[in-house]
Each structure stands twice: as C-alpha cells, then as structure tokens.
C-alpha cells in the first residue's frame, strides 16, 4: 500500500501548512541532474512542531510510540584482536540486552488494514549514554517521530550498544559487527509490537514485509554494516523468496576505516573540529579487542594524566557531551577549540609502530581496521542511497566514494551492474559550505523521502521493492 504524505491534519491546523509538490516553492536538498529535487522544509517544520509542542508526551493522536527490549549478539575476541570461534568454526558471541523505541503513525493517519514498512533508523554519534530514543533524550528521535506521522512509516530507533538499557557497557564506536547485530537482532522484537502493543492490535496495524535501514554519520555506518549482515545471511531474514531488506540509506559514515579514516588520523597538520571521536574509538575498541588497543599505550600520556579537570577517561565516560570533551581536549593540548590535530592525541611511538606507513602493512592493527571496512566482502542486491557533502571535513567524503566504488566493483564481479542499485547524491557542491552537522538536516529528510517515493535511481527511474 502506498501511503500519502500528511496533507491535512491537526499538525497543519496548528500552522505547519500543506506540503507542496517537490521542487515548487521550496529549497531543494539535492539539486543534482537526473533526480527530482526533494522538498524538505515542510518535513522539518513537522519535526520542529514535534519538538516544540509535543516533546516526550507524544499523544497517540500525534504519534504512538513503544519501547522495546531485546537480546543482541556481542562478538568476542582474544587479546590479539582475533575473533573467538566455537567448535564448528563459527564466531562466538556473548549477549547484550539492548533497548529502543518505535514510532507509529496515529490511527487516523492510516487506512485499514494499516500495513506499513519498518524503517530502522540508527542514530548518530553521541557520547551521552542516555541521549537515546528509548528515554526521549537527544534530538534525533524527533526526526523518527516526524517521519512516522508525516509519511505513515513505523520508524524504529535502536539504542546503540553501551547506551540506554546497556549503559553499563562502553559503546563499541564504529565496530561493524557490534552495530550490525544491534540493528538486526532487534527486528523480531519490533515485529512483535504489531500484535503485542494494545494500541496497534486494536487498530489493526500490520507489517507489510519490508525493512529499510537508514542513518547518518555513525548511524550511516551502522546501517551499511547491518545491510551487509542481512545480505550475507539472507536466509535469516526471509530468504531469497521473501527477503525483508528493501533498501538502505547510508549517509556520511566512516565506511573506509583502514583507508580514508586512517589517513585523516595520520595527517600531521590539519586541525579537526570534533577530536573526541579518536578516544571514543580507542576506548570502544579496547573493550572489544583487548590489549592490542590498550589506551595506556595508544593515547598521548598528557591526556591520561589526572589534573584539576580530571583526565580523558573521566571526560569520555558517557556523562558528558562530545562538545564538552572537545573543549577539554583542546585545553589539555594547549590549543584553541577546533584546532586540535588528531595525530597529536596519540602516543608517537605507537603511531610509528602500528599506524604509520610502512609499519601498518604488517601491524596487527591493520586486520582490526580492515575488519571494520563495512563495504568490503559483499555485493548488494537491494538499493543503497549514499548522501554526503563534499565540504564535510569531520567524515571526509572519500569514505563514501570508496564504499560506492568497492560495492560497485563487487556487484560487477558478481555479474550485476550497480546502476539502479547504488546511488550517490552529493549534498550541495564543493564550496557550498555544508558541513557534517548541516548535512544531517539535508540528508535525513532526503532519505525518508527517497524511501517514500520508491527509491528512485539516479536516472529518475523507480526501483520498487513493494509488495
């Protein structure tokens, strides 16, 4: 069933106005040739209304939401960073108990039978353990709630590992397998809500058999990791004849960890606006890979020394926002905020031994970083939308271009052309000044619109996975 956008509703009566046809009287998100421009201001107005006037109260006439909990796999490694295997040679896993929230359109918004797809929207990077949808904290859940009401989707936002209900663990920042499991292992719990939630059961809500994945920044990385997991184990997700995955919007993620991201870290001169991500990776990888990523050896000693303001381990313990950590890092390094060079945060001897060329070619770290290159080792069969700004300096666009090229090469090797399956849309042109944060306000509405319109390809044709 194709759901119409929200044209007339109590939202609009409160001053949002009707959504115009795309490209008429609105600034376009993606002004590129070959794809209809995406009108986005009305969707953002809907999101602003949700945050300003609705908030966490979320009455059912606006949007219905349900918290869900589930057991997710937690991959296990030895102290040299190698996956632990069971007697059959399969990767061993422990169990994490994770949480999330699903937003549903109100009953008046949909017609019976209220069949709808599930969009799993992975949130972006946050150091704050409680900045998650299950607790109505942070701001990104507002987009999920707005999309449920505006488009008629069921939009699930899983709390990432180490956050929400799993807050006693450290978040495995940009660890592909951990984030993939956090997405896909929650799918059965999301499906069960359609019959287990009294509001949904009473109003005859039903899943239409499709799953879409989407996210921006680390959320985009998690979405591509989850797409890889579903594509390479498709028998667990409906099989060839009833495959659940319909498409993925993977936006501005650090997909190429061992290449583009490593080169960014090694740059000896270019300052970085949000340096907190370096210790976030190191602490997260240490919790996974053990002593091969020991912060006492990896990080610059001055960051670990305890001063009047504490030390890095305290700053990055999940109780402070990343911007606060950025300021603390700059102060400790004796420079202004926004002027920290990433390489300076690392112990020079460790960089020379593990990360620098040519040492990297034989370093144990190479295998760890390569394992987390989420575009490697598979060939997509379902559409993927990549969006990123050429002026994004926090997550360089090379990550997206490398992922696009790698997946396209894998598809050709498998005998399939990537056109119509892999799509790349830049968020503006070089010099437009769309940074990483600004790109989110363009890419997230564009992803929801792309899903709604049937995932059109770059040539304007429609790729439909509807049933």
pLDDT band at 46 (very low <50, low <70, confident <90, very high): confident
Model pLDDT, residue 342: 95
Mean pLDDT of 426-436: 91
Model pLDDT, residue 361: 92
pLDDT band at 36 (very low <50, low <70, confident <90, very high): very low
Helix axes 277-289, 322-333, angle to 10 degrees: 100
Q: What angle do CA 156, 158, 159 make, to 5 degrees?
A: 145
Q: CA-CA distance, 20 to 27, in Å (whole number)? A: 11
- pLDDT above 70 (res 16): no
- pLDDT above 80 (res 4): no
Q: Sign of the C-alpha dihedral, residues 234, 176, 375, 32? A: positive
Q: Give Cα separations from 82 to 40, 42, 322 (angstroms).
A: 45, 49, 30
Q: CA-CA distance, 221 to 176, in Å (whole number)? A: 8
Of all residues in the chain, what percent are helix, strand and coil, respectively (each to 5)? Answer: 40, 20, 40
DSSP-assigned states of every residue in 360-419: GGG-HHHHHHHHT-TTSS----S-EEEEE-TT-SSS-THHHHHHHHHHHHHHHHTT---T
Mean pLDDT of 130-141: 92
Mean pLDDT of 426-443: 91
Question: Regarding predicted confidence, which is higher, 322 or 40?
Answer: 322
User: Is pTM, for the whole model, over 0.95?
Assistant: no
Mean pLDDT of 398-424: 96
pLDDT, tens digit, 9 for 90 and up, residues 79-130: 888 999 999 888 999 999 999 999 999 999 888 778 999 999 999 999 999 9
Give the least confident one: 31-45, 117-131, 387-401, 430-444.
Answer: 31-45
Model pLDDT, residue 278: 93
Pick from 253, 204, 240, 190: nearest CA to 387: 253
Residue with tokens 């936002």: 157
Strand-pair partners of 245: 211
Model pLDDT, residue 25: 28
Mean pLDDT of 41-58: 82
Question: Regarding predicted confidence, which is higher, 384 or 56?
Answer: 384
List Cβ neighbours of 103 (8 Å cut-off, separation of 6 or more).
58, 63, 64, 65, 141, 144, 145, 147, 148, 149, 154, 155, 156, 157
Q: Mean pLDDT across the chain, nearest whole number?
A: 88
Q: Sign of the C-alpha dihedral, residues 426, 429, 430, 436? A: negative
pLDDT, tens digit, 9 for 90 and up, residues 188-199: 999 999 999 999
First to last CA, the chain: 8
pLDDT, tens digit, 9 for 90 and up, residues 222-268: 999 999 999 999 999 999 999 999 999 999 999 999 999 999 999 99
Model pLDDT, residue 85: 93
Pick from 348, 349, 410, 340: nearest CA to 375: 410
**Contact (CB, 8 A) for 129 and 318:** yes
- pLDDT above 90 (res 131): yes
- pLDDT above 60 (res 24): no
pLDDT, tens digit, 9 for 90 and up, residues 163-197: 999 999 999 999 999 999 999 999 999 999 999 99
- The SS3 call for residue 312 is helix
Question: Regarding predicted confidence, which is higher, 423 or 30?
Answer: 423
- pLDDT above 90 (res 462): no
Model pLDDT, residue 451: 93
Residue with tokens 């990385």: 221
pLDDT, tens digit, 9 for 90 and up, residues 320-353: 999 999 999 999 999 999 999 999 999 999 999 9
- pLDDT above 70 (res 31): no
pLDDT band at 2 (very low <50, low <70, confident <90, very high): very low
Model pLDDT, residue 245: 98
Q: CA-CA distance, 444 to 426, in Å (whole number)? A: 13
State what percent of residues in the chain have pLDDT above 90.
Answer: 76
pLDDT, tens digit, 9 for 90 and up, residues 255-313: 999 999 999 999 999 999 899 999 999 999 999 999 989 999 999 999 999 999 999 99
Q: Sign of the C-alpha dihedral, residues 219, 385, 228, 210? A: positive
């Amino acid at each position: 069933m194709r759901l119409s956008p929200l044209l007339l509703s109590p939202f609009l009566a409160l001053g949002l106005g009707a959504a115009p046809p795309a490209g008429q009287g609105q600034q376009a998100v993606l002004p590129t040739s070959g794809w209809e421009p995406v009108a986005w201001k009305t969707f953002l107005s809907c999101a602003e209304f949700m945050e300003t006037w609705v908030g966490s109260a979320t009455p059912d006439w606006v949007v219905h939401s349900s918290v869900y909990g589930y057991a997710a796999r937690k991959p296990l490694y030895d102290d040299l960073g190698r996956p632990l295997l069971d007697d059959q040679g399969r990767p061993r896993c422990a169990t994490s108990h994770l949480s999330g929230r699903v937003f549903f359109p109100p009953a008046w918004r949909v017609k019976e039978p209220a069949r709808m797809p599930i969009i799993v929207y992975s949130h972006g990077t946050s150091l704050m353990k409680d900045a998650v949808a299950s607790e109505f904290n942070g701001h990104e859940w507002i987009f999920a709630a707005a999309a449920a009401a505006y488009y008629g989707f069921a939009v699930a936002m899983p709390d990432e590992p180490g956050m929400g209900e799993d807050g006693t663990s450290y978040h495995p920042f940009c660890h592909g397998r951990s984030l993939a499991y956090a997405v896909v292992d929650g799918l059965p719990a999301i499906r069960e809500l359609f019959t287990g939630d009294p509001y949904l059961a009473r109003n005859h809500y039903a899943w239409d058999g499709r799953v879409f994945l989407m996210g921006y920044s680390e959320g985009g990385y998690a979405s591509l990791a989850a797409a890889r997991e579903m594509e390479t184990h498709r028998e667990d997700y409906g099989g060839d004849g009833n495959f659940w995955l319909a498409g993925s919007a993977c936006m501005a993620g650090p997909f190429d960890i061992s290449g583009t991201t490593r080169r960014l870290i090694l740059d000896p001169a270019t300052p970085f606006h949000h340096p907190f991500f370096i210790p976030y990776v190191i602490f997260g990888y240490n919790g996974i890979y053990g002593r091969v990523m020991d912060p006492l050896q990896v990080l610059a000693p001055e960051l670990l020394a305890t001063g009047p303001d504490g030390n890095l381990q305290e700053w990055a313990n999940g109780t402070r926002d990343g911007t606060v950590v950025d300021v603390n890092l700059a102060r400790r390094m004796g420079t202004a905020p926004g002027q920290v060079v990433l390489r300076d945060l690392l112990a020079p001897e460790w960089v020379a031994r593990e990360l620098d060329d040519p040492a990297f070619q034989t370093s144990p770290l190479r295998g760890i970083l390569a394992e987390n290159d989420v575009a490697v080792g598979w060939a997509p069969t379902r559409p993927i939308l990549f969006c990123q700004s050429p002026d994004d300096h926090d997550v360089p666009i090379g990550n997206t271009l490398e992922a696009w090229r790698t997946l396209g090469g894998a598809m050709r090797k498998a005998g399939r052309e990537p056109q119509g399956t892999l799509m790349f849309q830049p968020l503006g042109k070089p010099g437009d000044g769309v940074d990483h944060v600004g790109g989110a306000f363009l890419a997230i509405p564009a992803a929801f619109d792309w899903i709604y319109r049937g995932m059109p390809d770059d040539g304007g044709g429609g790729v439909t996975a509807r049933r």
